[in-house]
Structure 1
């Protein structure tokens, strides 16, 4: 786990799995792959095998040693619902998250149908605890179907990351969604994000009373374009009501 991170919307990262495979154009310029592959073949380095999928059981209980509450991005270097990750290993990750309930865990996936299926099997008629935030990544209108999967998921707290935002997403059904993140792509070949795409999402969040976080414009480097949207920063987080927390504890 990283004690600090450059990701604006979280406090720390926890990677019990690293490595992934590409499934949509939002994966094309994956920052995690770009970072990992720099160290392929470096003996003894954590990324000696580059971005190949790798389970790291020695990290499973790391959050339990962090006593101060923090927001933790789970598998920032992978996708928790990759089809090659054994269900038993995902179970162990969820067990740690459920136990370490003084933290907030942020789980983000592009494999939204697999997430929905897993949560249904794990929680049945109930829902994941509200301190475990479950989210999907959507880069354009073509992949907005992931939002439908999120609606069906047995999650108490739901969020959407529109990053990298590569096109307009159109009309969104944001009922029951707690948080939305928007960000442009970064890296040497970053594809530009149009302002109207971000504004369209922000305005829909305002109407639906969904917390809105604008992460970055992106560019050659993540900070290249800054973080101002219409002259201001947008750093909203979801407010998880005490009622929801009490209901989850019952």
Structure 2
């Protein structure tokens, strides 16, 4: 959780839960798992729960943190908030009652805009009708390759104010990408010592599909050994489009 964030498309992070489990190839080099291992070694209290070694790792066991639910109330200035940068709120181990508490905090702090991202699109769809969706909540799913395109169909059934896609790390072409009902697309490459390559034609194809559908496109990074190693320019331009004209002040 941070009052400020280095993530280009948001301004702050808020982690009511931490920890997760790898479920698709997009999770193979998870930045949050690596960071959790480091935070556990530093003695950070929120990262002392170890996950299943087959799918998670040290400090990355799914953990609820009810004590941080009130944090957004302390932020006086409006900000863009990425919910659960270190977890997935729709993980099977997160009780419905806790998801409802997170949504209630979002509804009671309308000065902020919240961005919630999941890879568990099926559970998201199943729970969506039981949740009250505040107008300041954007809901997204990760789509790293064509194998995850079905997540978009689940997202389309969610009554969020903005539905968005995170195509990061983009691991292959998305030629069959259908943006009906989608209000924003983020794309980017992987970073870290084991990063997988990102081809320019994959990114430009996603950008062109967005332009044809009149959907805002945000290119976060090329990636590399570090997140900023390859920069952000695509064909000589920086793409930082946001829904309804909104743009984080830190971009």
Superposed counterparts of 1:188-203, under 5 Å: 188-203=193-208
Gaps of 5+ in 2: 50-58, 247-251
SS at match of 2:47: coil
2:71 aligns to what? 62
Can you list the C-alpha shifts for 1:61-92, whole angstroms capped at 9, x where unaligned? 11111121100000000001000011111110
1:150 aligns to what? 155
Shift of 1:38: 1.9
Larger RCO, structures 1/2 (Cα 8 Å, 6+ apart): 2
Using the size of structure 2 for normalisation, the TM-score is 0.91
**Is it true that 1:212 corresponds to 2:240 in the alignment?**
no
1:236 aligns to what? 241
Does the 8 Å contact 1:63/1:100 carry over to 2? Answer: yes
Can you list the C-alpha shifts for 1:151-200, whole angstroms capped at 9, x where unaligned? 11122211000000001112222122111000100011000110011111
Shift of 1:109: 0.3
Cα separation, 2, equivalents of 1:119 and 1:36? 29
Using the size of structure 1 for normalisation, the TM-score is 0.91
**Is it true that 1:135 corresponds to 2:119 in the alignment?**
no
**Is it true that 1:77 corresponds to 2:86 in the alignment?**
yes
Shift of 1:118: 1.4
Please tell me the root mean square deviation across aligned C-alpha atoms, in Å. Answer: 1.4
Does the 8 Å contact 2:188/2:220 carry over to 1? Answer: yes
2:56 aligns to what? none
SS at match of 1:5: coil
**Is it true that 1:116 corresponds to 2:121 in the alignment?**
no
Does the 8 Å contact 1:107/1:133 carry over to 2? Answer: yes
SS at match of 1:213: strand
2:11 aligns to what? 11
Does the 8 Å contact 2:103/2:134 carry over to 1? Answer: no
Does the 8 Å contact 1:116/1:154 carry over to 2? Answer: no
**Is it true that 1:20 corresponds to 2:20 in the alignment?**
yes
Does the 8 Å contact 1:80/1:109 carry over to 2? Answer: yes
Does the 8 Å contact 2:20/2:91 carry over to 1? Answer: yes
Gaps of 5+ in 1: 242-250
1:86 aligns to what? 95
Does the 8 Å contact 1:130/1:240 carry over to 2? Answer: no
SS at match of 2:13: strand
SS at match of 1:33: helix
